[in-house]
Amino acid sequence: SAVISQKPSRDICQRGTSLTIQCQVDSQVTMMFWYRQQPGQSLTLIATANQGSEATYESGFVIDKFPISRPNLTFSTLTVSNMSPEDSSIYLCSVVSLNTEAFFGQGTRLTVV
C-alpha cells in the first residue's frame, strides 16, 4: 500500500485567488492522479502527472486553470487558479500500486467565497 499526505486538508478562499495543493507519497511512483469531487457528485479525473513531462489533462480541464507540477517521483502539486464558487470541491490525489490498486490522499476541501 501507499501512504499519501495531502495538504492543506481544507481551506476557504476568496474568488479570483489561487490555491496550491500538495501531495506527498511515501514511495516512488511513476504516475500521480488528481481528482475533483464536486458536492454530491462522484470523482472526476482532472489530470495525470508524470515526472519529467507535462501533465495529461482530461476533457474539460485545462492547464491554465489547473497547473500541475511533478518535480520528482514522490511529490506533486495542483493549483486551482482564478477561483470561483464553482471550484468549491474536494480535490484528491491518488497513486496506483503495481497491482493497479488505487490509493488516495485524505483530500483537500476547498470552499470559494
Q: Before 71, cis peptide (omega within 30)?
A: no
Grid coordinates in use for 52?
519529467
Q: CB 3 → other proteins: shortest distance, Å?
A: 12
- Which CB sits closer to other proteins, 65 or 109? 109
- Which CB sits closer to other proteins, 82 or 87? 87
Q: Does 33 bind other proteins (CB under 8 A)?
A: yes
Residue partners of 65: CB distance under 8 A and separation at least 6: 80, 81, 82
Distance of CA 51 to the CA centre of its chain: 15
Q: CB 59 → other proteins: shortest distance, Å?
A: 10
Stretch that binds other proteins, among 11-19, 63-71, 79-87, 95-103 (CB under 8 A): 95-103
Cβ pair 76, 67 in contact under 8 A: no
Stretch that binds other proteins, among 13-21, 61-69, 71-79, 92-100 (CB under 8 A): 92-100
Q: Does 51 bind other proteins (CB under 8 A)?
A: no
* Of the residues 7, 11, 24, 31, which one makes contact with other proteins according to CB under 8 A: 31
Cβ pair 17, 83 in contact under 8 A: yes
Could you give the angle at the alpha carbon of 73 between the alpha carbons of 67 and 77, nearest 5°? 25
